[in-house]
Amino acid sequence: MPQEVRRSAWAETLLSFVQRYPGVHLREIRRRLGIPLGTLDYHLYRFGKEGLVTLTETAGYTCAYPAVVPDIGGPIPDPDRHLLALLRQPVPRSILLHLYLDGAGPPSDLASDIGTTAQNLSYFLQRLERAGVVLREGSGATRRVRLADPKQVHALLLQFPPLPDDPVDRFLRFWGDLHP
């Protein structure tokens, strides 16, 4: 296949992926699309110059967003960008979905419910708290974690679909669910 044709195919795939899944970070794009690093950099640079895609450093990751979302009629607002980027990462997404579906709860229950360690949960809760997405209330035995703005999470979940599970994700979830 000529290189130009291959490049334009990548460009189309990449642009539609970013438009469908705004807030996805670059490593995830590479993993999902199998796109070579140089090709990814080239197209993102080009999309940036053409005003199609913007890159933002969010929660320690470089995340890609479409410059304009048709439903919004402009760019995604900054607070939503931050939350979207967190919803694209497995552990923060599990925490946010659990708090959204089940409401506030003690951190110890949260760790076992989402299948992670207390240390891992604590690390991500600190990040989510710094981002202003979750709030920790009380102390000791009455300590609870809750979403700062459940309506914002609800709106973003409805507007932007989650990244589809790949076979490895499904495999991991299946064996994770067998935990006695």
Partner 1 sequence: MDLGELTNAAFGGIAVFGALLAAVAIAAWRRTPTVRMALVALAFLLFAAQGVVVGVGLFTSGLSLSDLLALSAGFEAALLAVMFAATLLR
Q: Smaller CB distance to partner 1: residue 141 or 174?
A: 174
How far apart are the C-alpha atoms of 158 and 32, rounded to whole Å?
22
What count of Cα atoms within 13 Å lies in the side-chain half-sphere of residue 120?
A: 12
Q: Is 144 left (phi over 0), alpha (psi -120 to 50) or beta?
A: beta
Q: Smaller CB distance to partner 1: residue 60 or 176?
A: 176
Q: Does 131 bind partner 1 (CB under 8 A)?
A: no
Residue 101: CB minimum distance to partner 1, A: 23
Token digits of residue 22:
């705004």
How far apart are the C-alpha atoms of 82 and 117, rounded to whole Å?
24
User: Which string of x and - marks every residue 148-177 that binds partner 1 (by CB under 8 A)?
Assistant: -------------------xx--xx--x--
Q: Smaller CB distance to partner 1: residue 74 or 175?
A: 175
State the residues that interact with partner 1 by CB under 8 A.
Answer: 167-168, 171-172, 175, 178-180
